Structure 1
Amino acid sequence: MTVNFLHRLCVSVLHGWLYKCAGIRWIMSEESGNVQTKPLKRVEEGNRESGENGHIRKKLKSDVEQTGDERKLPKRKVVLLLAYSGKGYYGMQRNAGSSQFKTIEDELVTALIKSGCIPDNHGDDMKKMSFQRCARTDKGVSAAGQVVSLKLWMIEDIKEKLNSNLPPQIRVLGLKRVTGGFNSKNSCDARTYSYMLPTLAFAPKDYGTENSTAFRLEPETLQRVNRLFGSYKGTHNFHNFTSQKAARDPSARRYITEMTCGEPFVRGGAEFAEITVRGQSFMMHQIRKMIGLVIAVVKGYSGDEVLKRSWGEEKVDVPKAPGLGLVLEKVHFDRYNKRFGGDGLHECLEWTEEEQAILAFKEEHIYPSIVETECQEGSMASWMATLPIHDFEATAKGAQDKDRGQDDDEGNGSDSAL
């Protein structure tokens, strides 16, 4: 009797204890034999609602995106090193709703979608992938070292897949991981451009252009050209070298660290030279006008003093050299490299390993395009024929107005100079 009573009591207690532990699963450790309990429902509810588990679930969702074929891939902020020949394109920046004016970014976005790097809807709204470019290059302008930043899915063989979906005159030459808050425009400390032109541009104004390929630049003339370009170094008010900038607008003051013309060389039977200019940032048309004014002075249309006068408050009629020949060579990230380049997690944004690929692209796509177009169309000779209509001695508000268009100043990291 006592035994039966004790048996029933033990069974009753055991049932009650099991009832209270409903929803608990028992896991026997294979190594120690210890019993562990883990909640089943409550973890799932925590993931759905709040608390530590919910936070973890949210974090994972932001770090991993799901593609159409249900693969989960990490989404990361990167920079792409781009090289392109701008011939046949209406500049770098994409113009939403203007598909008839194809740009470099149109081609890049299409390649990103086809390669599976971004969702289809990111092509319609580039802010969704935090897209930013270092410089807005104008119609027909090329680049050997353009850098864009964006978030994309880290698929395998990204560069190879992107290039397989890009035309030959646009190449992705490098890719690097960057910090989550990196912005290629705002993080850029300086930009270096080159401008390739026929040395005929520095011939006296009475020199005939019938046999333009015969002209050769004298060393003394090259020295004078470089003295004039050297005058641009430092900080000056360049309101006369862009459009829609008032003389007292603080943003018209720009800092130039280098501007020189290299030794002449012969291509396609004609003599060319390459001008290099580096500055913190540039405004729309600024570089082309800086070159145009020096050409006008060397050819004898104005005296040297016009450069200094152009930095004053009065309006000066500054001619704008052709866009052909302008190339974005390199963008510089000195501050970023100093802060993050040696942290063990990120790379310096230098492209030493890609230098050979950059040079090869220029030799195959950029230089031939500039030389062939110049020799066939004579854009520099045609532009020089317009120099006599400029009045370099008087103010010329009317002449400035005809140049006006969209201002390409992007603030601290503005770019375009075109």
Structure 2
Amino acid sequence: MDKVQKFRKKKVAMLLLYNGAGYQGLQKNPNAKTIESDLLDAMVDAGVIPKEGAEDPGTKISFQRAARTDKGVSAAGQVVSMKIFIDVDSPVEKINKHLPDQIRVIGIKRVTQGFNSKNHCVARTYLYVIPTLAFCPVEKVVREDFRITDDIIAKVRSVLEQYKGTHNFHNFTSGKKPEEASAKRYIMEFSMGEPYVRDGLEFAVMTVKGQSFMIHQIRKMIGIAIAIVRGLASEDAISRAWGHDKFDVPIAPSLGLLLDKLHYDAYNRKYGNDGMHVPVSWDEYSDVIEKFKEEDIFSVIYRTEKKKRKMLAWMSTLHLHTFDEAKMTAAGVQRETSEMHKAFMNVREVRKEKANSVRL
């Protein structure tokens, strides 16, 4: 132990991959199973940080995560910064020996003493692996063998394009007032790739890149996009949700969401080639990252969706939303039923009548 104390501590950036299943999120939290708790304990066991570094990481080792991930959410490109004992041989291998297989440290790079993985991050990219049956038109019966058409794909992409730019997302999170400056967020990209089939279910990967995101923001962005494409919400629902009034925005399931990449363009331009530091980028690990993403994140999403039907269960309650502004009455806040919602309920009644007539 005396020998360890003589080691030099230096600031580093660490690339971390994990499957969030079974964890209460990333951030260390007393009496909760979190990714950070397991990581910090493993680093103590590996001799990379002192014990007090795990107990009070923010103060003792300047620990900082680049982006939070919520309960069950995975990451294929999380970056944390901290001070570690730089003289420890093979720190990555030693840390991984003390981690469960669903958490992997991939690389460690020396950074400037002032580097902060959160503050120096200029953009974040998230993926959402979605079963395409989520976009089944409301007038049709949702089946697991649903296959998305070119017309629906085009509509999805058109809806997602609306998000690009700077908008007020106070209705896409919780506890945020419309007049708060922090409610405005800048979205650089929102797209959906080509569909593919796994275990009989068709999936597609949605990609969203933004400067930063608030809690639940991405899942709510996807939730209302699904409602529009299905025909449950009007085409202007997104732009109306950016308004000052409270707006009914559904939150899509957490299964399928993962942090994919963190971008350090400004830091890399300034320090990446100064002769003393290297860029905070991980291109040399792309094969390892893709392998982990496919085998330890995507495959779990496929199996879980097939077994537990998370999206189908969520879709069964989607019609309960009004996708409209909240209206104030003497009795309090009351949502006004939208014309789209009324139309959907009429369709449900017609389908019930048809089903009853068939049974008779």
TM-score, normalised on structure 2? 0.89
Q: Tell whether 2:116 aligns with 1:186.
A: no
What residue is the counterpart of 1:74 in the other structure?
8
* Correspondence for 1:307: 238
1:203 to 133, 136, 157: 136
1:145 aligns with 2:59: no
Q: Output one character per residue of 1:237-281: Cα deviation in whole Å (capped at 9) or x when no partner.
A: 000000111111110000000000110011111100000000000
- The residue number in structure 2 matching 1:218 is 149
Q: Does 1:261 align with 2:170?
A: no
Please report how far the alpha carbon of residue 206 of structure 1 lies from its aligned counterpart in structure 2 after TM superposition: 3.4
Alignment of 1:321-360 (within 5 A): 321-360=252-291
Letter paired with 1:202: F
SS at match of 1:73: coil
Residue number in structure 2 paired with 1:292: 223
Match of 2:96 in 1: 163
Q: 1:386 to 1:82 in 2, by over 3 A?
A: same
- SS of 1:236's equivalent in the other structure is strand
Which amino acid is 1:263 matched to?
A: E
For 1:161-219, what per-residue CA distance to the aligned partner results, in whole angstroms no more than 9, with x for missing partners?
Answer: 0111111110011110000011101110000000001000000123323x41x100001
Aligned 8 A contact 1:190 1:278 in 2 = yes
CA contact (8 A) 1:162 1:172 kept: yes
Amino acid at match of 1:328: L
Identity within the alignment, %: 50
Q: In structure 1, how many angstroms separate the alpha carbons of the residues matched to 2:239 and 2:294?
A: 37
Deviations 1:257-306 (A, max 9, x none): 00001100111111000000000000000000000000001111111111
Partner SS state of residue 260, structure 1 = strand
1:396 deviates by 6.8
1:6-405 equivalences under 5 Å are 67-69=1-3, 72-95=6-29, 97-98=30-31, 101-127=32-58, 128-154=60-86, 155-209=88-142, 211-212=143-144, 214-395=145-326
How many residue pairs get matched? 329
Q: What does the per-residue CA deviation read over 1:81-130, in whole Å, with 9 as the maximum and x for residues that have no partner?
A: 001001111110010x21xx201001101100000011111111112100
Output the CA distance in 2 between the equivalents of 1:167 and 1:295. 35
Question: In structure 1, how many angstroms separate the alpha carbons of the residues matched to 2:308 and 2:2?
Answer: 48
Distance in 2, Cα, partners of 1:105 & 1:272: 30
Q: Is the 8 A contact 2:233 2:323 kept in 1?
A: yes
Stretches of structure 1 that go unaligned for 5 or more consecutive residues are 1-66, 401-418
Rounded Cα–Cα distance in structure 2 between residues aligned with 1:226 and 1:282: 20
Q: Tell me: CA distance 1:327–1:347, structure 2 relative to 1, closer, same or farther (3 Å).
A: same
Runs of 4+ more than 4 Å apart: 396-400
CA RMSD of aligned residues (A): 1.4
CA contact (8 A) 2:245 2:325 kept: no
**Partner SS, residue 308 of structure 1:** helix
Query: What letter corresponds to residue 133 of structure 2 in structure 1?
Result: L
